[in-house]
Structure 1
Amino acid sequence: MKPVSLLGLLPLVAAAPPLNTPSVTPSSVRVVGVSLLGSGCPAGTADVQIDATKTLMEVTFSEYIIQTGPGTKAADWRKNCKLTLNLEFDEGFQFATLGTDMKGFAQIPAGARGLCTNTFDFTGVPGSSVYSLSLPGEREGPFTLTADPDVVSWSPCGGTTSIMNMNTQCNISPTRSQALIAVDRISGKLTLNVSLEWRKCR
């Protein structure tokens, strides 16, 4: 597990309050701890930031590369990274993830397909929010993929801290084809943006 760089306090967005209900956020949110573990995020190659509006979490990876084809091995065909984020905030609030988008570079021939899955859950709460992103061939160049969850999972009420677990994993099949999912060639990063929202506990 490795620490990651964080910009400022860690505010998070709120999931979907009913229409015509004003969005609310805690007055104080801070990061208690962050750790990363996985083949897609070796030590020192990932970063986490929260924007000033408290509605977007950005996770970037600089060595998240999936490759298939001649000369590759099983460890190259699939990569993952598990992020564990511990937040402390005002009592009486909970938050959820509302959507994700992933930006990177892909080179996938016809007949092959890349698949990235981002899963979020909260320690102590059953269920999870799952976002699946498909990259069918034939394609070559930068990509931006957006996904919404089938089910929205909220952090628990009744406390001032919550641990959110995120697992992102990507693979390409069939593995005999020469294909690639990697960091964007301009930014040098594969980026996962996560929309978050707060609401008051009922």
Structure 2
Amino acid sequence: MLNALTAAVLALSAVVPPPSPVTIEVLSLKGDGCAAGSAAVAMSLDNQAFTVTYSDFIVQAHGSDVRRTCEISLRVNHPDDYTYGIAQTDYRGFAHIGAGSRGIMKGHYFFPGMPTRHSSHAYPGPLSDNWQATDQLPPGDVLHGPCRQRKPLTVNAELRVVGKSATSFMTMDSTDSSVSSTFRLSWRKC
């Protein structure tokens, strides 16, 4: 009975996105996978998602294990009577992984002082193709930011190549103008 009541309350508190424009701004960008100016963030016109597009996020093996990371701190500017959480993440890129090696994509995001959501996807070689990873949370598991405090959202991404292949590489970039990462939002009234 309590679970049904909790689900009903969550369903009622989940709402459509704010009708007024929502903007997003990059507060900081750091890591060896995203030099200054190599990542762009944009909010969708319907306020239901934001995208992160990387222009130079690549990890290249030279016969040893190697990794690159990118950390972006964001401020989502929305009406005071709303809060948001990440309901789904979609990552994509290209991988050329030699036999006996593997590529690994890891992502996590969090609001300061709140639990961190983690995801990890491995791509064993041989592989030379586009890759895509999607992580979707059940509605009751979405972690929403605090209602009255505007805390920044931190998004971390990591690419890693493990193995002895000297020609393996993995990217999370958008040379074809497609979006590399999409963060679908779950809105809630405060």
Confirm or deny a common fold (TM above 0.5): yes
User: How far apart are 1:97 and its partner, in Å?
Assistant: 0.7
User: How far apart are 1:93 and its partner, in Å?
Assistant: 1.6
Alpha carbons 2:105, 2:122 under 8 Å: kept? yes
Task: Kindly indicate whether residue 144 of structure 2 is the aligned counterpart of residue 154 of structure 1.
Answer: yes
Task: Kindly indicate whether residue 33 of structure 2 is the aligned counterpart of residue 44 of structure 1.
Answer: no
Other-structure match for 1:122: 111
Query: Cα deviations across residues 57-108 of structure 1 (Å, max 9, x unaligned)?
Result: 11111111111133x6x7xx11111100122322222111111111211011
For residues 30 and 183 of structure 1, do their structure 2 counterparts lie closer, same or farther at Cα, with a shift above 3 Å needed?
closer
Query: Cα deviations across residues 114-146 of structure 1 (Å, max 9, x unaligned)?
Result: 1111111012x3201222222222210222221
- Pairs within 5 Å for 1:67-78: 67-70=60-63, 77-78=66-67
Other-structure match for 1:88: 77
For residues 122 and 191 of structure 1, do their structure 2 counterparts lie closer, same or farther at Cα, with a shift above 3 Å needed?
same
% identical equivalent positions: 26
Give the letter aligned to residue 158 of structure 2. Answer: Q
Task: Kindly indicate whether residue 104 of structure 2 is the aligned counterpart of residue 111 of structure 1.
Answer: no
Give the letter aligned to residue 114 of structure 2. Answer: P
Structure 2: give runs of 5+ residues left out of the alignment.
1-9
Query: How many residues get paired?
Result: 178
Alpha carbons 1:183, 1:190 under 8 Å: kept? no
User: How far apart are 1:190 and its partner, in Å?
Assistant: 7.2
Q: Distance in 2 between matches of 1:158 and 1:137?
A: 47
Structure 1: give runs of 5+ residues left out of the alignment.
1-16
Q: Distance in 2 between matches of 1:136 and 1:54?
A: 36
The TM-score normalised by the length of structure 1 is 0.76
Alignment counterpart, residue 169 of structure 2, candidates 174, 180, 187: 180
SS in 2 for 1:18: helix
Alpha carbons 2:13, 2:188 under 8 Å: kept? no
User: How far apart are 1:184 and its partner, in Å?
Assistant: 5.7
Q: Distance in 1 between matches of 2:178 and 2:17?
A: 32
SS in 2 for 1:27: coil
Other-structure match for 2:3: none
For residues 114 and 190 of structure 1, do their structure 2 counterparts lie closer, same or farther at Cα, with a shift above 3 Å needed?
farther
Alpha carbons 2:30, 2:70 under 8 Å: kept? yes
For residues 33 and 172 of structure 1, do their structure 2 counterparts lie closer, same or farther at Cα, with a shift above 3 Å needed?
closer
